[in-house]
Structure 1
Amino acid sequence: MAPLIVNEIISPDTNLLLALLIGIGFGFVLESSGFSSSRKMVGVFYGYDTTVLKVFFTGAITAIMGILFLSLFGLVQMDYLYIHPTYMTSAILGGVVMGGGFLLGGYCPGTAFSAIAIGKIDGMLFMVGMFIGVFLFAEGYPLWEGVYKANFMGTTTMNEILDIPRGVFALGLILIALAMFWVGEWAEKKFPREEY
């Protein structure tokens, strides 16, 4: 919400309060959607439950359309949005490690906290494993700093990499999401599983 603070639409204190309320709401939605269940989370990898896939793409579409419309009406200045620097090698390796952890543990960090909030032991163990991984990464950082910083691409966005306007990229993402929704529905029919 930094652009709203920079434009003095909300105060820093209001920003913190909104962040807390959004976090509580996000956790509530995760839990009520069943995302504190590791079976539901890994269902996307086996094809019997593609809810995670659908929610991911819905979130991506909502975010990109929200940012585009807010910037169109001057409520958000795109120049003030933080874009994390891209290191392509570490992004790919990190994606593989996180995907493997997701598949083995049945959670991503956000959903693990939802599981912990309702007392699930597997969520607690997943989080312990995650903290051990973070600790080992931090302590061993000098060993793999070269790999971590390899293929630096700056603070670029996908539409800049593809050399297309933001709106065209958003339309492409929407079309990809619709295709993935169809694939998800097909997979759930192809690999049905009894309620868990």
Structure 2
Amino acid sequence: MGPLVVNEIISPDTNLFLAFLIGIGFGFVLESSGFSSSRKLAGMFYGYDTTVLKVFFTAAITALLGMLFFSLFGWVDLSLIYINPTFLHSAIVGGVIMGAGFIMGGFCPGTAFCAISIGKLDALAFIGGLFIGIVAFTEGYPMFEELYKAEFMGTPTINEFLGLSRGLFSFGLIAAAFGMFWVGEWAEKKFPREEY
């Protein structure tokens, strides 16, 4: 959520305070969207509730267009934005582990904390699993290091990887989002579920 322009416009303490407020706002939006409900989250995978899909695609295309236009107007230098390095094998293994947990229980780390903040005790199992996983990975890192660092790809963006311009990739992602919205609506009609 940051850092904002630290030491030039605002102090580091103000930056942390603003990040705290942004975090509260983000949690409020998650809860208002129903993301603290494991049934709603799991519903995405079973097809009866695609709210999560719609919200995340909407957020992705909003952020994408915002950054693209900010770059075009010269307000943001995209070359200065940090991109996490890609280690393909560990990304795939981590994605499978997290995806399996998400499907089985209906929580990811962020939504589990959102749920526990409003008193949903089933989220405790996922928060406990999160901390067990962190400790196991940290303590067992020498065993996992080779897998963790396998297939280093640098820091490519998807449009660079596909050989597309930013504008063309943005258009394609927006088209894919509208396609997924249509698929989501179709799935909700095809696999209806009583209100929960």
TM-score, normalised relative to structure 2: 0.94
Instruction: Give 2:12's aligned residue.
Output: 12
How many angstroms apart in 1 are the aligned matches of 2:9 and 2:168? 29
TM-superposition CA deviations, 1:16-39 (whole Å, max 9, x none): 222111110110111111111100
Pair 3,15 (structure 1): closer, same or farther in 2 beyond 3 Å:
closer
Q: Which residue of 2 aligns with 1:135?
A: 135
Instruction: Write the distance in 2 (CA, Å) between the matches of 1:38 and 1:2.
Output: 29
Amino acid of the residue matched to residue 153 of structure 1?
Answer: M
Corresponding position of 1:87: 87
Q: Is the 8 A contact 2:116 2:123 kept in 1?
A: yes
Q: Provide the residue aligned with 2:168 in structure 1.
A: 168
* Cα contact 2:41–2:106 (8 A) shared by 1: yes
Residue 124 of structure 2 corresponds to 124
**Residue in structure 1 matched with residue 153 of structure 2 by the alignment:** 153
> More deviation in 15-24 or 95-104?
15-24
Structure 2 unaligned blocks of 5 or more: none
Residues 122, 43 of structure 1: alpha-carbon distance in 2 compared, 3 angstrom cutoff: same
SS across alignment from 1:153: strand
Cross-structure match for 2:55: 55
Partner of 1:168, secondary structure, is helix
TM-score by length of 1: 0.94
In structure 2, distance between residues paired with 1:115 and 1:167: 37
Bigger mean CA offset, 5-14 vs 165-174? 5-14
Give 4+ residue runs of structure 1 displaced > 3 Å after superposition: 1-4, 6-14
* Secondary structure of 1:96's aligned partner: helix
Q: Which residue of 2 aligns with 1:191?
A: 191
CA distance in 2, matches of 1:66, 1:176: 18
User: Conserved in 1, the CA contact under 8 Å of 2:2 and 2:19?
Assistant: no
Query: 2-side partners of 1:172 and 1:10: how far apart?
Result: 37
| Aligned mates of 1:102, 1:9 — CA distance in 2 | 40
What is the letter of the counterpart of residue 31 of structure 1?
E
Residue type at the aligned position of 2:159 = N
Percentage of matched positions with identical amino acids: 70
Cα separation, partners in 2 of 1:6 and 1:117, compared to 1, 3 Å:
closer
- Cα gap change, 1:32/1:77 in structure 2, threshold over 3 Å: closer, same or farther? same
Cα distance, 1:10 vs. partner? 4.7
Q: Read off the aligned partner of 1:33 and give its amino acid letter.
A: S
How much has 1:9 moved relative to structure 2?
5.1
Q: How many residues align?
A: 196
Q: How many angstroms apart in 2 are the aligned matches of 1:5 and 1:99? A: 35
RMSD in angstroms over aligned alpha carbons?
1.7
Q: Is the 8 A contact 1:30 1:36 kept in 2?
A: yes
CA separation of 1:32 and 1:57: change in aligned 2, threshold 3 A = same
